[in-house]
Structure 1
Amino acid sequence: MKKYFVFALFICSFKLMAQLAVADSLVQLGNYQEAMEIYKTEPKSEFKLARVYAQMGAIYEALDSYQQGFKRDSLSLQPRFEYARLALSNNDPVTAFNSFLSLSVEEPDNATYQYYMGKTHEELSNDDAAISAFAKAVSLNTSYRAARIEWVKLLIKKRRFREAILQAKPALEWYPNDIKMNSLIAQSYLGAKRYDKAIERFELLFSLGNDTEFNRKSLAWSYFNDRQWQLAIDNYERYNSDYEKADSLVHFIMSQAYLKLGELELAQDYIERAIAIKTPELDQEFLQLATVYVRQGDYKNAFYATKRAKKEKPEDDVIGYQYALAADQYYADKSKKLEFYEDFIGAYPESPYQEIATARAEDLRKELFLAAKK
């Protein structure tokens, strides 16, 4: 009798294993529904059933199946890891955090657990803890690209550009043409105002076929700040052609670049385009237009452009002083010039330009007094 019972138990076990093997094969073939029906009839299949639910996108059923499985086996690492990842993808970072924390305590040298701790900290808006977790993941596995990418992205977000550059470099030593890492180090150089290095990386990205709106605009801005005016203009022209024709800031910068090159007509053309696009505040654009007019010796139009700038932002003392200065250049009548300086002195008592405006007003009064005595 005892031998018969052992034999029957063996037969049942063999049959169970055979059914599970069939279900596992069905999963491999993508026949999730059929596999799920088998798993539901077999004991100790909660985790397998949870994985099928997850593959089908039935997240809550998957989570529930994992929880049922944990009542039987709460120690196995793989299902706990899968459960934590599923909770994180389901916008439940608190549950994910508790699971990943226990896993990382049990397996402190597991770089993947540290990586997901970092992702969870990000979801919980704890960037500093996320940075530490990603850094630890990379320290445990220096070739962990995903962890390094997330680490560098957060350093950029926190404006820790030098650290971002330092951490991006090793990945580029292994894979010099890594588009994602080149993009991140280019952004880091841009943030650190190392425009020559940013240019190198953005140009490399274009050579690798990564011609994006952000890269084109950033390359143009880098050339502008590197005082390579024509290349800045060329790239802004490409940006205008390929992406955004109605960007007032781009036209404003192009006007500045043309002014640097002495191309006064083009400088005027582009600042007028910027003015036509931008509303409602155009104070800087009108000041730029005034600067172009001054370079052309056209003090009348420079005065009226500055007047428009002051109208746009009357509380700005810098513009207020520029307005008085423009009037000084435009009007021949010294008493008229004096009126503008006196208006400025009265309107902006706290301005750092008070001293220079007062000194000029005193000079004009003396000149008027001496002229009256003659």
Structure 2
Amino acid sequence: MKKYFLWTLVICSSKMMAQLTPADSLVQSGNYQEGIEMYKSESESEFKMARVYAQIGDVYAALDSYQKGFKRDSISVQPRFEYARLALGNNDPVTAFNSLLPLIVEEPNNASYQYYMGKTHEDLSNDDAAISAFAKAVSLNKSYRAARIEWVKLLIKKRRFREAILHAKPALAIYPNDIKINSLIAQAYLGAKRYDKATEHFELLFSLGNDTEYNRKNLAWCYFNEGQWQLSIDTYERYNNDYEAANSLVHFIMSQAYLKLGKLKLSQDYIERAIVFKTPELHQEYLQLATVYVRQEDYRNAFYATKRAKKEKPDDDVIGYQYALAADQYYAGKSKKLEFYEEFIKQYLESPYQEIANARAEDLRREIFLAAKK
């Protein structure tokens, strides 16, 4: 029986070899140009030529060969599918769409057709249709990793984070160490502000050797939001050393973390670095610096830092009110304090802080009046 089976294989193999044309043999051995020249002399070889042209990267010659072949045979499925994919890869999603649509009508349960239609919709900036196509591909083939990845990526892009998490999980059940899927689900948890879960996946990515700029910075941000101040600082420090030493926002967050730890000198150092690195708007950094000074009971420098913040963003009523408060803490004279509240009341007529500023101004006027009567 075994000898018969082997003999059958030999016969089948011999028949297949016999079906090969000389041009086919040349192409199989890598002699593409010679093979193309021989195909030109053969009948009904347009699709074969198209595949060789595609293989050597001559896309336009490949597309032209497919079109010539369709004049002879417009029904065969494989060339039509190949043509659609080639058009898509050549940044021609309209042609790809027109080629794929009849195939999907003929065979709606073909997962690959749905996947490539999803890619086509994506290139046509029709994200909702792309999401539907990728979802259909995955429903037809649960292990279709490429379709699931594109699906989840688009859900994240559309800020549909809960759905992205839900549809990424089945892939992790099959391949728990899949770097791409772990990266996507980490992004989805990050977008959903599920910092504890995002941390788990970012840490796993590092253990798998996927230490990237994006992962390092966002792991530090997750630690910060979980209240793991020192871990956040340490991770940001490695980020500064390895990737970007002059990121103003990173130094701003590190200042906040040091402030949470009560390390006021370091908090001040890092907010001053943030100010140096950031241009042109520095209002947040100056307010953070003012907060550090207040914690140190250095009201003079807190006032001047707030003054700088107001200069950076003069139309911001929140900063305007904080400037009046800083003056209230810094100046001893009640008349001087009053000047800043009156300035605020006059400048920010629509501010919700008007009532409280007016109340404080009225108290100061009363105190000034009573002091004058003595």
TM interval, shorter chain, is over 0.9
Q: Does 1:365 align with 2:353?
A: no
Residue aligned with 1:233, SS: helix
Given that 1:19 and 1:38 are in contact with CA atoms closer than 8 Å, whether structure 2 keeps it comes out as no
- Cα offsets for 1:128-161 (capped at 9, x unmatched): 0000000000000000000000000000000000
Q: Does 1:249 align with 2:249?
A: yes
Q: Distance in 1 between matches of 2:333 and 2:222?
A: 45
Residue aligned with 1:369, SS: helix
1:96 maps to: 96
- How many residue pairs get matched? 358
5+ residue gaps, structure 1: 1-16
Q: Does 1:55 align with 2:55?
A: yes
- Cα offsets for 1:198-251 (capped at 9, x unmatched): 000000000000000000000000111111111110100010010000000000
Q: Distance in 2 between matches of 1:225 and 1:176?
A: 25
Alpha-carbon distance, 1:296 to partner: 0.1
Q: Distance in 2 between matches of 1:287 and 1:51?
A: 64
Given that 1:20 and 1:39 are in contact with CA atoms closer than 8 Å, whether structure 2 keeps it comes out as no
Q: Does 1:282 align with 2:312?
A: no
Higher mean C-alpha deviation, range 201-210 or range 28-37: 28-37
Q: Distance in 2 between matches of 1:210 and 1:19?
A: 48
Alpha-carbon distance, 1:43 to partner: 0.1
2:217 maps to: 217
Residue aligned with 2:206, SS: helix
2:139 maps to: 139
What are the within-5 Å matches in structure 2 for residues 101-250 of structure 1? 101-250=101-250
1:296 maps to: 296
Letter in 2 for 1:143: S
Alpha-carbon distance, 1:29 to partner: 2.2
- Percent identity for Structure 1 against Structure 2: 83
Letter in 2 for 1:97: F
What are the within-5 Å matches in structure 2 for residues 285-364 of structure 1? 285-364=285-364
Q: Distance in 2 between matches of 1:217 and 1:58?
A: 42
Alpha-carbon distance, 1:286 to partner: 0.4
Higher mean C-alpha deviation, range 214-223 or range 54-63: 54-63
Under a length normalisation based on structure 2, what TM-score does the superposition of the two structures give? 0.95
Alpha-carbon distance, 1:18 to partner: 5.9
Residue aligned with 2:307, SS: helix
Q: Distance in 2 between matches of 1:300 and 1:179?
A: 52
Q: Distance in 2 between matches of 1:174 and 1:86?
A: 31
Under a length normalisation based on structure 1, what TM-score does the superposition of the two structures give? 0.95
Alpha-carbon distance, 1:324 to partner: 0.3
1:69 maps to: 69
Q: Does 1:85 align with 2:85?
A: yes
Alpha-carbon distance, 1:27 to partner: 1.8
Given that 1:190 and 1:198 are in contact with CA atoms closer than 8 Å, whether structure 2 keeps it comes out as yes
Given that 1:156 and 1:188 are in contact with CA atoms closer than 8 Å, whether structure 2 keeps it comes out as yes
Q: Distance in 2 between matches of 1:18 and 1:44?
A: 18
Letter in 2 for 1:229: W
The CA RMSD measured in Å over matched residues stands at 1.0
